[in-house]
Amino acid sequence: MSDFVVIILAAGKGTRMKSILPKVLHRAGGKPMVKHVLDAAKLAGARRSIIVVGFGAEEVQAAVQGEAEIVRQEEQLGTGHAVRMAEPLLSKEPGTVMVLCGDTPLLTAGLLKNLYESHREARAKATVLTAILPDATGYGRVIRSEDGSVEKIVEHKDATEAEREVREVNSGIYCFEREELFSALTEVGCDNAQGEYYLPDVLTILRARGEKIWAIAAENYQETLGVNSRVQLAGVERILRQRKNKALMESGVTLMDPANTFIDADVTIGRDTVIYPFTWIEGASSVGEGCVLGPSSRFSDIRIGNGVTAQFVYAHECEIGDGVTMGPYVHLRPGTKIAAGVRIGNFVEVKNSNIGEGSKLPHLQYIGDCDMGAGVNMGCGTITVNYDGRKKYRTVIGNDAFVGCNSNLVAPVTIGDGAYIAAGSTITREVPSGNLGVARARQKNIPDWEDKRK
Ligand code: UD1
Ligand code: MG
């Protein structure tokens, strides 16, 4: 059983990102990088999570609200200094402290568990996770002495030409015993190329004290990749997408073209759902079984039931029941609930509305702020007139109503169960159940018109 507390460093500005957004809030796989790190730590068994914030503190804090304890590092004086900020919160914690960086979103719970177990087994005071990289540029290099033990970690900017040849790097992921960590940190100086207090210096200090320090190399270096630039962010993004797609396919989802299918980390999809290319499923979304989604669709924060078909659809913050058919060219806006068996297609927009079971909105509708019953038929071109320029009003349509083509329903207005609306009507008053509402000028034919014109 894992039993450790985690400190996640997330105070840095991320200068190389050239952004006003704090680096750790840049999204990869649809979620802020720091959230990936936090989620992995929790999954690996962290009993407490502390995030060190600084640059953009309020924003970072808001992004992890309620999920972690927060400490501030007012001035970003280096990773060693950042860890010290957490000391007051941990004065009573026994055992192991894991330190992670908020900019390594590819790490997995499995990797962290291995590190923890290896640290415990070795009975080390500090264990660093290393990685062998094809290109180690920018990373701290792991310098080993002749017996293979870790002598020190040298930052890229401080390294000699020979040291820069080393491809084993510090992943920025460590386990420490709490007491030794904080006592060594008081000795870390800032006499280096960046004038910063470097956390990896703790290893050298502990080694000099004769304590056991340990290192394990990650089997898959990808999991340790850190993001310092937009180019690296794009690389990580691609890997996260591939990982998610692979997991989905392994769980029974068909992706017609995984390279062109974009599914966020926390999305769930039921088996035998088929996804066509250029489809995005984002945020906190869930999709049921046996659906056919896409091509060219975007779903954000939605719940989709089983057996739903959707092509060329953009739907966000809504719920879609079983067996619904949508598209092509549908926009479902926030607050919309579509009941089972509804058919929506061909240039239809629905906003903040409830659509009852089996109703049909087949072509050219705008439905806003509407409570529609079951079995309703909306003729082509029917719209709710929900806005008078100041306020929005609701339209209520009873079960089995039949609304003729090109009608305007001027809200607030109620159409009763089984009522009919004549095509081309502009309805401003209630149409009671079973009535036919006609609100248009009667047709008049003028005889012999062509002769008169001559
Ligand atoms: C760091 C390591 C380097 C390692 C690399 C792995 C140090 C000195 N170097 O370098 O050995 O190879 O990570 O990715 O530790 N941060 C703070 N406060 C600060 C400075 C940084 O919270 O004062 C946070 C940053 O927000 C970031 C993390 O610490 O999440 C790492 O900082 P970064 O500047 O990216 O360090 P690297 O140069 O990548
Ligand atoms: Mg970094």
**Is any ligand 1 atom within 6 A of the Cβ of residue 100?**
no
320 and 270, same structural domain? yes
> Would you say the C-alpha torsion 367, 370, 374, 375 has a positive or negative sign?
negative
Across the chain, mean pLDDT equals 97
Q: Which CATH number covers residue 341?
A: 2.160.10.10
202 and 237 share one domain: no
Does some domain include residue 326?
yes
pLDDT value of position 80: 98
Q: Are residues 256 and 131 in the same domain?
A: no
Kindly provide the residue ranges of all beta strands, DSSP E only, lying in 29-95, ordered along the sequence.
31-32, 46-53, 69-72
**Dihedral angle sign, alpha carbons of residues 388, 392, 398, 399:** positive
Domain boundary among 209, 224, 239: 224
User: What's CA 351's distance to the chain center, in Å?
Assistant: 23
Same domain, 119 and 88: yes
pLDDT value of position 423: 98
Does 452 reside within a domain? no
DSSP-assigned beta bridge partners for residue 396: 371, 414
For residues 289 and 432, membership in a common domain is answered with: yes
The answer as to whether 443 is a domain residue is: no
Q: Which domain holds residue 406?
A: 230-437
Q: Rounded to the nearest 5°, which phi and psi values hold at 325?
A: -115, 130
Whether 442 is in a domain gets the answer no
Residue 22 CB less than 6 A away from ligand 1: no
- Cα–Cα distance measured from residue 427 to residue 134, given in angstroms and rounded to the nearest whole number: 70
Which pLDDT value is given to residue 341?
A: 98
For residue range 349-370, list pLDDT tens digits in order. Answer: 999 999 999 999 999 999 999 9
Whether 445 is covered by a domain: the verdict is no
Same domain, 293 and 331: yes
Task: Answer yes or no: is 448 within a domain.
Answer: no
Q: Note whether 375 and 419 are same-domain residues.
A: yes
79 lines ligand 1 (CB under 6 A): yes
Q: What percentage of the chain exceeds 70 in pLDDT?
A: 100
pLDDT in tens, 253-270: 999 999 999 999 999 999
DSSP state of 330: E
Residue 47 clears pLDDT 80, i.e. is over it: yes
Give the pLDDT of residue 454: 84
Is 1 a residue whose pLDDT tops 80?
no
For residue 130, list its beta bridge partners. Answer: 170, 217
Please indicate, yes or no, whether residues 186 and 273 belong to a single structural domain of this protein: no
Question: For 37, phi and psi rounded to 5 degrees?
Answer: -65, -45
Please report which confidence band the pLDDT of residue 224 belongs to, taking 50, 70 and 90 as the band edges: very high
In a shared domain, residues 142 and 211:
yes
Question: Is residue 130, in this structure, part of any structural domain at all?
Answer: yes
Pocket perturbation via mutation, ligand 1, pick of 8, 19, 79 by most ligand atoms within 8 A of CB:
79
Domain-terminating residue out of 193, 224, 255? 224
Same domain flag for 277 and 160 = no
CA–CA distances in Å: residue 166 to residues 114, 130, 229, 275, 304: 24, 12, 22, 44, 50
Which ligand lies nearest the alpha carbon of 169? 1
Residue 236 has pLDDT above 80, yes or no: yes
Strand 426-427: give its sheet, edge to edge. 261-263, 279-282, 297-300, 313-316, 330-332, 348-351, 366-368, 383-385, 408-410, 426-427
Most informative mutation of 34, 77, 101 for ligand 1 (most atoms within 8 A of CB): 101
The reply to whether 454 falls in a domain is no
For position 148, what pLDDT does the model report? 86
User: Is there a catalytic annotation at residue 363?
Assistant: yes
In the chain, how many domains are there? Answer: 2
Shared-domain flag, residues 289 and 375: yes
pTM over 0.85: yes
pLDDT at 44: 97
Domain co-membership, 29 together with 88? yes
Q: Domain boundary residue among 224, 253, 273?
A: 224
- The DSSP code for 407 is -
Q: Pick the atom of ligand 1 nearest to 75's CA.
A: 23
How would you class 160 by CB atoms within 10 Å of its CB: exposed for 0-12, middle for 13-18, buried for 19 or more? exposed
Q: Which helix (H) or strand (E) holds 83?
A: helix 79-84
Does the beta carbon of 139 lie inside 6 Å of ligand 1? yes
- CATH number reported for the structural domain that contains residue 160 in this entry: 3.90.550.10
Cβ-Cβ contacts under 8 Å for 453 (sequence gap 6 or more): none
The Cα 171–Cα 131 span in angstroms is 6
Q: In 193-340, which ranges are E strands?
A: 213-217, 254-255, 261-263, 268-269, 274-275, 279-282, 286-287, 292-293, 297-300, 303-304, 309-310, 313-316, 318-320, 325-326, 330-332, 336-338
